[in-house]
């Protein structure tokens, strides 16, 4: 079945540093989203980005369909960026998502 | 805008009892609703997918007998966790896909219902 691999599993950054999170898919990509989840908190959609590059403030997502991968770049990280970042891909009919295991990000002062 | 509400946000139930949770699409009609569960220290896994004019499809390890789902209209879905035990605790999420949208379109997710089983 479809698999979604995220890397790194966890990451600790000094405030102000940049982060690059990766998401790789085992099958052809039809749709994908990046989510942010605080510890014990709700899921917040960061980007819907099935292809190309999208930017929102300090966050940039790039999805390369042919290479079956997507990345999330966080520039000038802040302590409030700490949490878990999940990527998910939609199946052929896009009716359901397969989630990655997430990258746990901790930004320290 | 398109929003998905879930109720309750948090709930506690005794082991062996049942708990019902709701999912409401606001601002759009949902052609499909998917229910997911995130168990402690794990990622989200699909429980079942409910699509308009189709039977509800459950994933492996999840059954209708344990997680009955009602999807009476294009805006509302509910799921019950029957005879809940410790392994059922976690965050239950519903995701909705817009009716009439592009084939490959964004899914909208609710904030989740966190279930604690005592």
Backbone angles phi, psi at A79, to 5 degrees: -55, -35
Mean pLDDT along residues A10-14: 97
Is A88's Cβ below 8 Å from some Cβ in B? yes
Mean pLDDT along residues A76-91: 92
Is B25's Cβ below 8 Å from some Cβ in A? no
pLDDT tens for each residue of B41-56:
888 999 999 987 788 9
Is B94's Cβ below 8 Å from some Cβ in A? no
Looking at the partner chain, which of B44, B104, B109 has a beta carbon nearest the beta carbon of A50? Answer: B104
- Residue B67 scores a pLDDT above 80: yes
Two tokens, residue A88: 């998910």
CB B69 within 8 A of CB B78: yes
- Coil, strand, or helix at residue A38? coil
- When pLDDT is cut at 50, 70 and 90, the band that residue B63 belongs to is very high
Interface with B, mutate which of A42, A49, A100 (most B CBs under 10 A)? A42
Q: Which residues, including other chains, have CB under 8 Å from residue B52's CB and lie 6 or more apart?
A: B31, B32, B71, B74, B99
- When pLDDT is cut at 50, 70 and 90, the band that residue B9 belongs to is very high
Question: CA of A74: how far to CAs of A44, A59, A109, B116, in Å?
Answer: 16, 5, 16, 33
Residue B38's pLDDT is 93
pLDDT tens for each residue of A28-41:
777 889 999 977 77
Q: For B1-10, B59-68, B85-94, which range has the lowest pLDDT when averaged over its residues?
A: B1-10
- Is the C-alpha dihedral spanning B97, A2, A99, A82 positive or negative? negative
């Amino acid at each position: 079945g479809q698999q979604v691999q995220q890397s790194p599993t966890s990451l600790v950054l000094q405030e102000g540093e940049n982060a690059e999170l990766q998401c790789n898919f085992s099958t052809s990509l039809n749709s994908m989203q990046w989510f942010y989840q605080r510890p014990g908190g709700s899921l917040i959609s960061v980007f819907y980005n099935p292809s190309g590059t999208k930017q929102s403030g300090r966050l940039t997502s790039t999805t390369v369909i042919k290479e079956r991968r997507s990345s999330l770049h966080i520039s000038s990280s802040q302590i409030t960026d700490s949490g878990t970042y999940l990527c998910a891909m939609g199946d052929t009919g896009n009716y359901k998502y397969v989630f990655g295991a997430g990258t746990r990000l901790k930004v320290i002062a | 805008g398109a929003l998905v509400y879930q109720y309750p946000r948090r709930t506690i139930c005794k082991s062996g009892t049942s708990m019902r949770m709701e999912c409401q699409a606001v601002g759009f009609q949902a052609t499909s609703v998917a229910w997911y569960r995130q168990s402690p220290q794990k990622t989200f896994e699909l429980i079942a997918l409910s699509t308009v004019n189709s039977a509800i499809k459950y994933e492996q390890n999840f059954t209708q007998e344990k997680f009955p789902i009602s999807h009476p209209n294009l805006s509302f879905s509910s799921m019950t966790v029957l005879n809940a035990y410790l392994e059922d605790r976690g965050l239950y999420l519903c995701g909705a896909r817009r009716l009439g949208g592009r084939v490959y379109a964004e899914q909208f997710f609710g904030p989740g219902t966190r279930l604690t089983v005592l």
